[in-house]
Every structure is written in C-alpha cells, then in structure tokens.
Chains A and B, each alone.
Chain A
Amino acid sequence: MGLTLSWLSIIILIPLAGLFLKSFELSPEQFWNILSSRRTLNALRVSFGLAFAAACVNLVMGSIIVWALVRYRFPGRRIFDAIVDVPFALPTAVAGVALTALFAEKGWLGAPLAALGIKVAFTPVGIFVAMIFIGIPFVVRTVQPVLQDLDPEIEEAAGSLGASRWQTIIRVILPSLAPALLTGLALAFARAVGEYGSVIFIAGNLPNVSEIAPLLIVIRLSEFRYADATAIAVVMLVVSFVVIFAVNRLQRWAQSRIPAR
C-alpha cells in the first residue's frame, strides 16, 4: 500500500504537479494569450481532432481484425496475430521514416495516390495515417481476450430464438464487447494524442496546418520559452484527463449492465 502510493507519486503525480506549478509562473492573462494564439489553437486542434478521428477508424477496423483473428482459422493467422504488435514494438522514429518513405510522392503508396490527386506525406492526412498505425494494436489487444471469452453458444441461442445475423450482432455481441471497445478507443486515442516520433517525420510540420501540439511544445522549449511550453502541456493534460475520465464513466456504465460472471 505504502509502496504503491509512493511509487505512483514519484512516477506520476509529482511530475504532473510540477508541470502545474511551472505554469503558475504565468499570470492568467499571459496564460490566456499563449493559449489563444492562432498557432497554439491550431496545433491543439490538429492533435486532438486527428487523434480522435484515428481512434474511431481504429475502433472499426480493429473490431473487424479481432473478429477475423478470433473467429476464423486461416493460413498465416498466427503471423497476422503477431504483426498486430509491430506498432507497439517498433521505435516510433523508425515507423515515421518508414511511413514517410512509403507515402512520399515517389513512394510505393504515395505515387499512385499522388496520381489520384491525394497527397499524404507532409499533410494532415499523413498525421492521420501515422496515428492509425500506432493506435491499432490498442483496440485489437483489448478486445481480443473479451471476444475469445464470448461463448459462441450465445450466438446460436440468439439464432434459434429467431434473431437475424444482424440482430445478433447489434443486440448480443456488440453490447457484450462494449466495455472493451470503449477501453480500446480510449487507449488508441491517448496514444495518438501523445504520439510524437512517427508523426513529426510524415507531418511536414507546417505551423497552423500540420503541426501537432507535442511538437509545438518542443519548439517552445528550444526557444527557451519554458512557460509557453508548460501552458500548452497543461492544456493537453487537462483535456486528456477529461477524455479518460469520460471514457471511464462510460465504461463503468456499460460494465454495470454486464456484471462479471
């Protein structure tokens, strides 16, 4: 108990408190000016907006991947299952370089896309792609064990009671997976918001267009504008807290409807 508390304090609470204290060096007015500057607002919008969009895409695609991995037996299934973990393990800079090379105008995917008039690398779309890449394992790995535990008999029961396949998915399967799906969504979102390494390579980092908030913090630090950096950091922290808290509540609500066996 004591150990847990001290450890959590040293590792998590004290650095966060330090962050808040640092930001108090600014007057409320200065704080507000930093935040309401166009560049800061745009950076925050890019970070949170794209992270949320990427998490939603991961939720849908991740669910489909999980379904295939758990319910079907196909050649190479184990290999695909292992591949899911690659974004976890790959150093983010390596991922960034790889994605950039792939989506650059002369890259394997970038060239055909450019022919269609779609530019991925060095645009917000590139950030979006990188965020999807690093977020996908979070959805897959949180939903997978829950789906594995889900008894196929309940689908048979629903079928024999007259439910169509679609009704079975909507009324039986999804509600059973809801808490895990929400957790996966939250984790993928949190990871995407904080992602730095893989994004900065592909983003192009144009202020106001494709500049993410973490990068802006680094820029401010390198300019020795420490207070500015902490102000942005505090906002990210607060927004992240709110999101995690909201998802937690949602999750608890969903779980209260599915008490543990």
Chain B
Amino acid sequence: MTIEVRNLVKKFGSFAALDGVDLKVDNGELLALLGPSGSGKTTLLRIIAGLDWPDSGEVSFNGEDALAQGARERHVGFVFQHYALFRHMTVFENVAFGLRVQPRAVRKDEATIRARVKELLDLVQLDWLADRYPSQLSGGQRQRIALARALAIEPRILLLDEPFGALDAKVRKELRRWLRSLHHEINVTSIFVTHDQEEALEVANRVVVMDKGRIEQIGSPDDVYETPATAFVHGFIGESIELPVQVDGGVIRLGDRPLQLTAEGLVPGASKLFVRRHDMLVGPPGTGAFEGAVQHVRNFGPVQRAEVALSGGETIEIDAPRDKELRAGDTIGLNPRRYRIFAA
C-alpha cells in the first residue's frame, strides 16, 4: 500500500497544526515522523487514520481517495500512545475485537477467530497472557497487545502514535528492536510518530522531520544525521554546538574574531554555525579556528565532555576521546572536522 499526502492543511483555531504537508510513503516502508511536540506529526498520523479531518488537501491510498472514507472503512491499524485497550475484556477478547465486529456477511466463525487470535498472540510472544485483563499487564506487554489487536484486522497500513512514549527506557529499547524485526516479518506499510530522535534513527527506513506544521527534511536516517537540510534539523537531531556567526566579505566572524573557515557559497549576513560535539577536534592553542579555555571536564561514557569558554565569549560543550589529556584551566585550539552554516 502506498500513501500519498498532498498539500495538507489543518488548523485548530488560529494555530496551524499542519501547514501544507506533502508526503509519499512507499509500499512496505517503515517511516518515522519525527519532531518536537506541536510539530503536527500526530495530527498528520490521525488524518491518515481517519480520526481527524484536514481543512484542505488530499490523502490517497494506492491512488484512491482516502478522505472519502471514515476510519472504519479505511482498514488502518492504529496503535495509541496510551494503548487504549478495552479494560473490561481479556487480552484474548481485545485482540479478537476487530474480528468480532465485522459485518455478519464476512465474519469468520468462532474457530477461525480463535486460531487467528492465537496466531497473533504468538506473533507478539504473549500467548500465555490470553486470559488476563489489561490492568494485570506491564506497559510493554500492553503495547504489544495493542499492536496484536491492530494487526488482527489485517490492516493495509499500520500507524503508531508514540508507541513507546509511555514506557521506561529499557523496555523502550527492547521494543524498538522488536518492532523493527516484526515489521520485517509482516512487511506492512507502517508510519510511527516519535519525538525521540534515537528511536526514529534506529527503527525507521526513512525519517520525516517536522517542525511547526511543515516538513523540514525527508531522508534516510544517515541523510538527516549527516547532511541536515535546515538549521532546525541540525539542532534537533544529534547534539550540536550552535554558534551565532556573521558572514561578510568572504569572512566568517564569531563576535569580532574572524574564523579560519571557508565562507565560500554562503549568503552574507547573520548566520548560525552548527558542529557536532564530537566533530570539534582539540589541538594545541593557536592551531584551530577557535580558541578557548577549558572550564571543567567530566567523563561521560566513552568520551569526556569538556565545557570550553571560547575567546569570542560563547561557552560550548565538546566531546573528546577519553585518552586526550584535558584539564580545567587549559587553553586549547578547536578545529571543526565538519560543520554547517545556515543563514539565520
């Protein structure tokens, strides 16, 4: 199933949740909608599901107009952040729900339904919980049941709204890996919404970065990380150092200090320079584009994180390898291995 969204606009009062969104999703893709809260990603997902309606624009599945159908006819599996399981039904009945409410003409007989539910519970590896109630399950188990329930109707598309948002970090990591392998197994076109960049980069084939109701960039996880298209994407994905600089006459200045960086192809004026923390290489004083004094150093997993006061007045945090000798009070030179400058 391919999904195509054209020029979608949705306003809540004067707030534009979606401000002209175009998106194409290929068959069998696992796509992440990534953005901060209020970026419109959930609204986009809900419109695709038929739970919300756009003010204007088009949504089509396999070239067919989807907006002509309600949520019920679209055959879309939807997984909610807070599971939305039916509390008064057992796990088994929750999963069977979509099969039991089918119109009589196409409804399967009881034996077929039981076999199908069993199969789905096996798929999410929770067949031993069939007789429990949702309140007796852990968050991770509930979300897997919610997924099995959504898959029961053999959806054409699977939509997941912050599926792991309510879970703790460890369970979240497990479920991420699990979701990816599950998608590999069932291969249904899937879109999931997340504000967690790590989750998006780890799970999805393609990532759509959104901000303020617009799409900032669409690309592979590598693309959005390595070559961010906009200042927003660079700042949002991966931890970045952000410095206000001035471009004029082929020179880039930080405060009044000219930086030995090439200004080729840059638009003159106020700009923002982005560097990943680990791309700032430490050298002896006087050797780099920047110069600064180390304020203090902390060991942080595989790296040491140093706070450096640049001579331009800004204070930044850099990540250096653990074997690099860094001490508070040192004066060091800093050279960005890679950097990007966007007009501010």
Contact = CB atoms under 8 A, between A and B. Distances in A.
Interface residues of A, number: 23
Interface in B66-122: 70-72, 74-78, 80, 82, 84-89, 97-98, 100-102
B153 interface: yes
B101 A153 contact: no
B80 A153 contact: yes
Contacts of A258: 87-88, 133
Nearest to A168: B101
Interface string A179-223: 000000000000000000000000000000000000000000000
Contacts of A158: 86, 97, 101
A156 B80 CA distance: 10
Contacts of B87: 176, 258-259, 261
B84 A163 contact: no
Interface string A153-178: 11011111111100100011001101
The listed residue with most A CB atoms (<10 A of its CB), out of B84, B86, B88, is B88
A162 B80 CA distance: 16
Given A156-B51, A156-B78, A260-B135, A164 B101 contact: yes
A151 B84 contact: yes
Contacts of A156: 51, 71, 78, 80, 84
Nearest to A258: B88
B78 A162 contact: no
A257 B88 contact: yes
A167 B72 CA distance: 12
Residues of A contacting B: mostly: helix
Interface string A130-166: 0000000000000000000001011011111111100
A183 B133 CA distance: 23
Nearest to A170: B101
B18 interface: no
B86 A259 contact: no
Nearest to B133: A259
Contacts of A171: 97, 100-101
A145 B84 CA distance: 18
A113 to B, nearest CB: 42
What bracket does the count of chain B residues touching chain A fall in? 20 to 34
Nearest to A159: B71
Interface string A227-261: 00000000000000000000000000000011111
B195 interface: no
B50 interface: yes
B101 A161 contact: yes
B49 interface: yes
B71 A176 contact: no
A161 B135 contact: no
B299 interface: no
Given A259-B136, A260-B135, A261-B135, A160 B88 contact: no
A162 B98 contact: yes
A203 to B, nearest CB: 41
A151 B82 contact: yes
B253 interface: no
Contacts of B89: 175
A45 to B, nearest CB: 36
A160 B51 contact: yes
A160 B86 contact: no
B82 A153 contact: yes
A162 B50 CA distance: 12
Given A259-B133, A259-B135, A161 B88 contact: no
Nearest to A259: B135
Contact of A160 (B76, B82, B85, B136): B76
A163 B72 contact: yes
Contact of B88 (A153, A157, A159, A176): A176
Contact of A161 (B82, B136, B149): B149
A176 B134 CA distance: 13
Contact of A164 (B51, B72, B76): B72
Contacts of A161: 97-98, 101, 149-150, 152-153
A126 B307 CA distance: 83
B100 to A, nearest CB: 8
A164 B97 CA distance: 12
Nearest to A155: B84
Contacts of B152: 161
Nearest to B102: A162
A158 B136 CA distance: 21
Interface string B188-229: 000000000000000000000000000000000000000000
Contacts of A175: 88-89
A173 to B, nearest CB: 10
A217 B170 CA distance: 68
9 contacts: A151-B82, A157-B78, A160-B71, A160-B78, A161-B97, A163-B98, A164-B101, A176-B88, A259-B136
Given A154-B86, A259-B133, 16 more contacts: A151-B82, A153-B82, A154-B85, A158-B97, A160-B71, A160-B72, A160-B76, A161-B97, A161-B150, A162-B72, A163-B98, A175-B88, A176-B87, A258-B88, A259-B136, A260-B135
